[in-house]
Amino acid sequence: MNKKTVILSCISVIAVVIILITSQSAANPNEIVIPEVDLEQIEDLIIGSEPPKLIYADKTQVMFETTGGVYVYDMEDKSVVRSFDTASFASERYPHVLQSSFATQDGKQLIFNFRDGPDLVAAYRYSFEDNSINKLTKNESRDYLNKRFECKYPDPQDELYHKASGTIATISSREYVYLTFQDWKVSTINVVYVQDDQETVYNVFASK
């Protein structure tokens, strides 16, 4: 096989691969995608009218929600490993609705709800295991709600009530997580991990 034949063969293989990829994309034009938050613009993002809300926490990962997005922070890697721009997703599909999210108890799935007042307009399930998103029925959304990871508000008489921005997530009898922030800017959000009353503060959006 001469050099010219090899080059032509390579070009043919590349062309076939491109055609296959294009065909797969065209075969699923309705694929659901919630874009990631542009972290390059994090300094410009505002938390919203309510404090950031914890969704899930374990010994390594913390998930929380602001008015416009959901973030997954890895405490071991000290970085945001996943984000969801729910504001832009809603503006395209469900303008003028309320957004809320929660995680399943094992932290393997996220549920995104879009409501018009008390009425559920739409709900989606994201799986971390296969990076897929699918739309849920109202009954499916209700079933997931009953299996959600629950956070709680500290006692108003507790010092923690004045330190935490909203709810706390209990990991074990010795561990819990809460959030702090300043000036209602997303870029100032901190994760505070507490074990045996010893606090470790993680600046979520600080450069490593």
Other C-beta atoms closer than 10 Å to the C-beta of 168 total: 23
Q: Whole-angstrom Cα distance, residue 114 to residue 62?
A: 22
Q: Whole-angstrom Cα distance, residue 165 to residue 3?
A: 67
The closest of 25, 45, 31, 148 to 88, measured between CA atoms, is 45
The per-residue pLDDT for range 65-124, each reduced to its tens digit, is 999 899 999 999 999 999 999 999 998 899 888 889 999 999 999 999 999 888 889 999
At residue 88, what is the residue type? S
Give the pLDDT score at 32. 87
DSSP 3-state of 118:
coil
Residues of the chain with pLDDT under 70: 1-30, 208
Alpha-carbon torsion angle 159, 177, 147, 33, nearest 10: 130
Give the pLDDT score at 1. 54
Give the pLDDT score at 26. 39
Structure tokens at 11: 């070009």
